[in-house]
Chains A and B, each alone.
Chain A
Amino acid sequence: MVLFSVVVLSFAVTRSTGTPLYAALGIQVSEEMIEARAEMMGLNDPIHVQFTTYAAALLRGDLGASRRTFVPVAEDIARKLPATAELVFFSMVVGSIWTIPLGVRAAMRPNGPIGKLGEGISQFGVTVPAFWLGLLLIFLLYFLWPVFPAPLGRLGRGFDPPAMVTGFYTVDALLAGNPALAWEALRHLILPAVTLGVTSSPPMFRVTRAAVSEVLASPYVEAAHSYGLSRRKVMIRDVFRNASPPVLNLAAMTFGYLIGGAVLVEVVFSWPGIGSYAVWGMEFSDYDVVLGVVIVSAAIYVLLYFIVDLLQYAMDPRVRN
């Protein structure tokens, strides 16, 4: 149902903006050539016929092809999705590393310095635009002080991608027994992952803090202390367990959002993911490319929701009843 409305909406939006004909033919063309090409591509059909044709192909798993390169969109996405997934995964790692410990600490000591630090990072993260932070990091850590490699994709010049297993270069390089290549892939990941991690994680900090402080104030935590359980045991047994569902939920939502929402960061770092691919498609009204990316990211989002529901079911006995 969700996916169907995504397909309808994005179909309508892409069709209403521009035409792919010039992209396919160039600009030095006659009226007749345009007309013939439009007929061939089915662009003269009524919109509902065009939609039915597209939807029928979609049901067969056919996302169409780029009007510029004629490469099937499904193939392009399969090749580029791992790049985005790896970037998003690492930015989630960056986000979790600071939000969870600081959020817990902020809940335990609301006025302590660590809580204030977390609030500060959180404010910075929501305020600063991702592309700007990306450019700033490139300027500081590549241009002024070259700690990290040039922001031009997943690997530097002279490195060949590892044999595809998971699609994560860091993991595949290690599987291929090539730690130098894994290190190279990691070096290229750090700046974009930090950019995306810092700008997407502030809600995680707030949700962690809110969930933990709610549980800390609950009668069952006081009761657990009154039975003489150690503070450590109460934290692990009662507090973390009860505070984790909302945090996990938000983490999955953030992950799903970033798969389709990492566009600006991918462009800034020339990251060959599906975000860059969608932008590349948009520049020439390459309908199927844009639609394909939107539909695939929506599908991933829906799938993640489903997985989170399963996890909640496994974790929380109240959901099971």
Chain B
Amino acid sequence: MTAAPANGALLTLSEIEVTIHTATGPVHPLQGVDLEVYPGETVGLVGESGSGKTMTLRSILRLMPPGGAVTGGAIEWEGRPVLDMDPDELQSYRGADVAMIYQNPVSALDPMLKVKRQIVDAFEANRNEADGDPEEFARSTLRDLEFGDPEAVLRRYPHQLSGGMAQRVNIALALACGPALILADEPTTGLDMTTQIRVLDLLERQVSARNAALLFISHDLRAVARVSRRIGIMYAGRVVEFGTRERILNEPSHPYTRALLECVDLRTGERPRSIPGLVPKMTEVYELCAFRDRCVSRMEVCDREPLPRCEPDERNMLLCHLGYGNG
């Protein structure tokens, strides 16, 4: 589209802050999120509930909950500032550039409309006649997503779909927009184990077949590790460590990443253990490390100085006083 930025990133988030004004006072779910997604790559974000994963995705599309706003930082799409887009620019950016797959697949579909109408509308809102017939697209996409009888599914209403089917329909909706980046918000949470793996594999295959990038979030490190080339670890509204899958899984540097990996043994898939301590309250803004109360490597400097940012190259990043290579 427009001239790409120097580093070639599709999407860049720098120091994103989000504040939501609620009846009980302000909440700060994002406190400086840094993230980059390059064309065609798959990035996973992992974190506990409340760490800001979903809010990160919503801020990328500028879909804020009532009372919420991006209060700091910058979002760039192919070098264009997303936060400065006017409503028309925003509408054409949503869908055509970035599309989202929602966590609860059934409630993300309009209950009054047939699957066909929803896919056709998403297609027509973002494409032109050169992209072919919307109904034909809907049929072939559903076939790609392993629906045996696409025609029958197109005639159904959302409440007539199972969770796994509804999630595949949501994937078809995102694909119908023809985006360069797909955001997936815990797309497999409500599904049973075998369906989860199947939906994840389908998602990954269809996204890479279309040369699109995928930003995938989950609290499940195993699911993220399965599909992502790079993994970000979120804690208390920040990405505390970011790196290639190999680096995160084999040489984790942040104590929180290590704790997470200990929780889930990737080989045996044992029952997860929990990290001692409480998830920090997001009603506070954390100037210092928010993890230090639960950290086994806490040092004196952690209570005194704000977090340093280690960025050895453009694909790895760490927010910790320990620095790299202290495992």
**A residues at B contact (CB < 8 Å):** 217-220, 222-231, 233, 237-238, 241-242, 315-318, 321
Q: Is the interface of A mostly helix, strand, loop or mixed?
A: helix
Pair B61/A226 contact, Cβ less than 8 Å: yes
Pair A318/B95 contact, Cβ less than 8 Å: no
In the assembled complex, which residues on chain B have CB atoms less than 8 Å from the CB atom of A225? 61, 63, 94
Asked if B122 is at the interface of the complex by the 8 Å CB criterion, the answer is yes
Pair A228/B110 contact, Cβ less than 8 Å: no
In the assembled complex, which residues on chain B have CB atoms less than 8 Å from the CB atom of A233? 121, 125
In the assembled complex, which residues on chain B have CB atoms less than 8 Å from the CB atom of A321? 159-160
Can you offer 10 A-B residue contacts whose CB atoms are under 8 A? A222-B108, A223-B170, A225-B63, A227-B121, A227-B176, A228-B92, A228-B122, A229-B91, A231-B87, A316-B111
Contact among A222, A226, A228, A317 with B112 in the assembled complex (CB-CB below 8 Å) = A317
| A229 vs B92: C-alpha distance when bound (angstroms) | 9
| A231 vs B125: C-alpha distance when bound (angstroms) | 12
User: In this complex, what residue of B is CB-closest to A228?
Assistant: B95
| A317 vs B155: C-alpha distance when bound (angstroms) | 12
In the assembled complex, which residues on chain A have CB atoms less than 8 Å from the CB atom of B177? 227-228
User: In this complex, what residue of B is CB-closest to A244?
Assistant: B112
Contact among A223, A226, A229, A231 with B109 in the assembled complex (CB-CB below 8 Å) = A223
Pair A219/B159 contact, Cβ less than 8 Å: no
**B residues at A contact (CB < 8 Å):** 61, 63, 66, 87, 91-96, 99-100, 102, 104, 107-114, 121-122, 125-126, 157, 159-160, 170, 173-174, 176-177
| A4 vs B177: C-alpha distance when bound (angstroms) | 57
| A227 vs B61: C-alpha distance when bound (angstroms) | 10
Knowing that A220-B109, A238-B112 are A-B contacts, what are 16 other residue pairs whose CB atoms are under 8 Å apart, sorted by A's residue number?
A: A219-B107, A220-B108, A220-B110, A223-B173, A225-B61, A225-B94, A227-B177, A228-B95, A228-B99, A228-B177, A229-B121, A237-B110, A238-B113, A241-B113, A316-B112, A318-B111
In the assembled complex, which residues on chain A have CB atoms less than 8 Å from the CB atom of B176? 227
In the assembled complex, which residues on chain A have CB atoms less than 8 Å from the CB atom of B108? 219-220, 222-223
In the assembled complex, which residues on chain B have CB atoms less than 8 Å from the CB atom of A230? 91, 125
Given contact pairs A238-B110, A317-B159, A227 touches B102 in the complex (Cβ within 8 A): no
Pair A224/B110 contact, Cβ less than 8 Å: yes
Given contact pairs A219-B102, A233-B125, A321-B159, A226 touches B111 in the complex (Cβ within 8 A): no
Min distance, Cβ B180 to any Cβ of chain A, angstroms: 13
| A219 vs B110: C-alpha distance when bound (angstroms) | 9
| A217 vs B68: C-alpha distance when bound (angstroms) | 13
Min distance, Cβ B182 to any Cβ of chain A, angstroms: 11
In the assembled complex, which residues on chain A have CB atoms less than 8 Å from the CB atom of B102? 219, 222-223
Contact among B63, B111, B122, B157 with A229 in the assembled complex (CB-CB below 8 Å) = B122
Pair B110/A318 contact, Cβ less than 8 Å: no
| A227 vs B109: C-alpha distance when bound (angstroms) | 12
Pair A318/B107 contact, Cβ less than 8 Å: no
In the assembled complex, which residues on chain A have CB atoms less than 8 Å from the CB atom of B66? 217
| A228 vs B126: C-alpha distance when bound (angstroms) | 7
User: In this complex, what residue of B is CB-closest to A213?
Assistant: B66
Contact among A227, A241, A317 with B173 in the assembled complex (CB-CB below 8 Å) = A227
| A228 vs B108: C-alpha distance when bound (angstroms) | 15
Given contact pairs A217-B66, A321-B159, A227 touches B95 in the complex (Cβ within 8 A): yes
User: In this complex, what residue of A is CB-closest to B66?
Assistant: A217
Min distance, Cβ A71 to any Cβ of chain B, angstroms: 50
The 8 A-B pairs with the shortest beta carbon distances in the complex, nearest first, are: A228-B95, A228-B94, A317-B157, A227-B122, A223-B108, A227-B95, A226-B100, A219-B107
Min distance, Cβ A293 to any Cβ of chain B, angstroms: 39
| A226 vs B108: C-alpha distance when bound (angstroms) | 11
User: In this complex, what residue of A is CB-closest to B109?
Assistant: A220
The interface centre, meaning the residue of B91, B93, B107, B112 with most chain A CB atoms within 10 A of its CB, is: B112
Min distance, Cβ B120 to any Cβ of chain A, angstroms: 11
| A102 vs B24: C-alpha distance when bound (angstroms) | 29
Min distance, Cβ B123 to any Cβ of chain A, angstroms: 9
In the assembled complex, which residues on chain A have CB atoms less than 8 Å from the CB atom of B96? 228
Min distance, Cβ B155 to any Cβ of chain A, angstroms: 11
Contact among B93, B114, B160 with A228 in the assembled complex (CB-CB below 8 Å) = B93
| A317 vs B113: C-alpha distance when bound (angstroms) | 8
In the assembled complex, which residues on chain A have CB atoms less than 8 Å from the CB atom of B63? 222, 225-226
Min distance, Cβ A65 to any Cβ of chain B, angstroms: 50
In the assembled complex, which residues on chain A have CB atoms less than 8 Å from the CB atom of B160? 321
User: In this complex, what residue of A is CB-closest to B96?
Assistant: A228
In the assembled complex, which residues on chain B have CB atoms less than 8 Å from the CB atom of A227? 94-95, 99, 121-122, 125-126, 173-174, 176-177
Contact among A217, A220, A222, A223 with B111 in the assembled complex (CB-CB below 8 Å) = A220
In the assembled complex, which residues on chain A have CB atoms less than 8 Å from the CB atom of B157? 317-318
The interface centre, meaning the residue of B87, B125, B174 with most chain A CB atoms within 10 A of its CB, is: B125
Min distance, Cβ A311 to any Cβ of chain B, angstroms: 13
Pair B113/A237 contact, Cβ less than 8 Å: yes
| A79 vs B66: C-alpha distance when bound (angstroms) | 54
In the assembled complex, which residues on chain A have CB atoms less than 8 Å from the CB atom of B109? 220, 223
| A46 vs B104: C-alpha distance when bound (angstroms) | 66
Pair B125/A229 contact, Cβ less than 8 Å: yes
Pair A226/B94 contact, Cβ less than 8 Å: yes
Pair B93/A318 contact, Cβ less than 8 Å: no
Pair A317/B111 contact, Cβ less than 8 Å: yes
| A89 vs B112: C-alpha distance when bound (angstroms) | 29
| A40 vs B174: C-alpha distance when bound (angstroms) | 80
User: In this complex, what residue of A is CB-closest to B176?
Assistant: A227
Min distance, Cβ A178 to any Cβ of chain B, angstroms: 44
